[in-house]
Amino acid sequence: MTDRSESDRLQQENWLQRTVRRPEIGAFIVMMIIIVALAMASGGKAFNALGLKNNIAIIAQLGIIATGAALLMIAGEFDLSIGPMIAFAGMSIAIMMKWGLPFGLGEATPFLAFLITLIMTLAFGWLIGTIVVKSGLSSFIVTLAFWFFLRGLTEVCFRLINQNTNVSGLPDFKKESWFAEQMGGEVFGWFYDAWYWIGTKIAAGVEFTGDMTKSEKIDLINYLSFLNINRKMEQWVTGFDARLFWFIVIAGAAWYVLARTQLGSWIYATGDNKESARANGVPVNRVKVGLFMFSAFCATIFATCQVFDTNSSDAAKGMFKELEAIAIAVVGGILMTGGFGTIVGVVFGAVTFGLVANAVFFIPWIDGAWFRVFVGTVLLAAVFANERIRKRITGGI
């Protein structure tokens, strides 16, 4: 009896049990189901050379802002201003590219436009964070105020400077600017080059002949699409969207910071119990303000990629993106109350949401609005699952 201690009551688990109990497991299972279901329903088209590129593009896009939202939520705060921040940043860059730098400082380069915009968005992030920590008000209400403020400001600026609520038909800056190419162009070309190279080996000898029926031709095109070969027997897709690069950089950095650094410990501590974190010397307010700025940074990267990809911007950009980012974070296992969650889960959530958002393009018979029905259902399920995890850890179950 005497050699039994309290800690013996905690059952030691093996590798499999630990894996099953990981907070990301729910997000992982949902993601796998979606991948398999989408692959089957689209006849594999969702994952052929172009399908993969398009899916990854939207996954990366959502993942970038979800990472910012997730870190902030782990620290116990919300940011509803992500969407308007995207619109504001897009407006700022597009207007500078069209009308030049402010105060008549001459022509804008893509990098300069980005830099000036980033300074402004970071300042907004700082302002939001400072208001939240100094006033002690709920970040929900403060960022809701900034939702309206930034949406309005964006539209006003568009109309004042451009006499229109959008800027379109900008020249393609990707050709001359390395920066624009890095934001809106393509990356990891080697992946698709290799895919094509392997494809040519597999499809050696295959060719279109005059005596093929139409359906035979379609079948062949379909077959070649999985080998990254187009109907002229050339390389079909040349690279991923540059967003993928930024998603990897941002999510990778966020993962590293959370899991391995002092700052990560501070973020968890801040969201878990602010008062005890403060009592132990964690600079709670600085952590929060910094994360509001990081969220604004993610929104700015999102907007910059969009502007240099499409060479346009309009006042409605980023609509609902704050809600999607929060939903992804929750589905990824981030607790609404803060203090818990991982970036790995957020990546799973982003993959799930990206695939479902894009599903309408690969499954023609599906109504795109089902996306939102799906989001609502999964979100609710995720909240219940997360709450269960929280109770299990804090001894409720």
Partner 1 sequence: MAEKSYMRVENVVKKFGPFTALDGVDLDVTPGEIHALLGDNGAGKSTLIKILSGVHQPTSGTIYVDEKKVFFRNPRDAAAAGIGTVYQDLAINQLMSVTRNFFMGRELTSTFGVLRMDDMDKIAHEEMKKIGIDFSDPSQAVGTMSGGQRQTLAIARAIYFGAKVLILDEPTSALGQKQQMEVLKTIKRVRARGDIAIIFITHNEIHSKLIADRYTFLALGKVIGAGTKKELAGEDIRRLMAGGAEISDLEQELSVI
Note the residues at the interface with partner 1 (CB under 8 A). 5-7, 10, 12, 260-266, 268-269, 272-273, 275-277, 279-282, 335, 339-340, 390, 393-395
**How far from chain centre, in Å, is Cα 320?**
13
DSSP 9: G
Q: Which residue has the tokens 């994952």?
A: 47
Measured distance CA(395)–CA(273) in Å, rounded: 16
Q: Which is nearer to partner 1, 68 or 271 (CB)?
A: 271
- The DSSP H or E segment spanning 286 is helix 284-310
CB of 302 to partner 1, least distance (A): 26
User: In terms of DSSP bridges, do strands 313-314 and 240-241 run parallel, antiparallel, or are they unpaired?
Assistant: unpaired
CB of 345 to partner 1, least distance (A): 15
Measured distance CA(274)–CA(139) in Å, rounded: 14
Q: Which is nearer to partner 1, 200 or 265 (CB)?
A: 265
Q: Which is nearer to partner 1, 135 or 276 (CB)?
A: 276
Do residues 349 and 329 lie in contact, with contact meaning Cβ atoms separated by under 8 Å? yes
Q: Which is nearer to partner 1, 9 or 175 (CB)?
A: 9
Q: Which is nearer to partner 1, 206 or 263 (CB)?
A: 263
Q: Which is nearer to partner 1, 193 or 272 (CB)?
A: 272
CB of 307 to partner 1, least distance (A): 32
CB of 397 to partner 1, least distance (A): 11
CB of 335 to partner 1, least distance (A): 8
CB of 294 to partner 1, least distance (A): 15
**How far from chain centre, in Å, is Cα 90?**
16
CB of 9 to partner 1, least distance (A): 8
Q: Which is nearer to partner 1, 54 or 273 (CB)?
A: 273
CB of 367 to partner 1, least distance (A): 40
CB of 277 to partner 1, least distance (A): 7
- Counting other chains too, the contacts that 93-97 makes at CB distance below 8 Å and 24 or more residues apart are 93/117, 93/303, 93/304, 93/307, 93/313, 94/167, 94/170, 94/307, 94/312, 94/313, 95/157, 95/158, 95/161, 95/162, 95/167, 97/167, 97/170, 97/173, 97/307
Give the CA radius of gyration of the chain.
Answer: 24
Q: Which is nearer to partner 1, 275 or 367 (CB)?
A: 275
DSSP state letters, 177-243: -HHHHHHHSEE-HHHHHHHHHHHHHHTTT----TT--HHHHHHHHHHHHTTTB-TTSSB----EEHH
CB of 109 to partner 1, least distance (A): 31
In Å, what is the CA distance from 321 to each residue of 80, 85, 260, 283?
9, 10, 29, 30
In Å, what is the CA distance from 258 to each residue of 145, 252, 255, 269, 332?
29, 10, 5, 11, 15
Q: Which is nearer to partner 1, 217 or 392 (CB)?
A: 392
**Token pair for 305:** 């990629």
In one-letter notation, the amino acid at residue 22 is R
Q: Which is nearer to partner 1, 7 or 209 (CB)?
A: 7
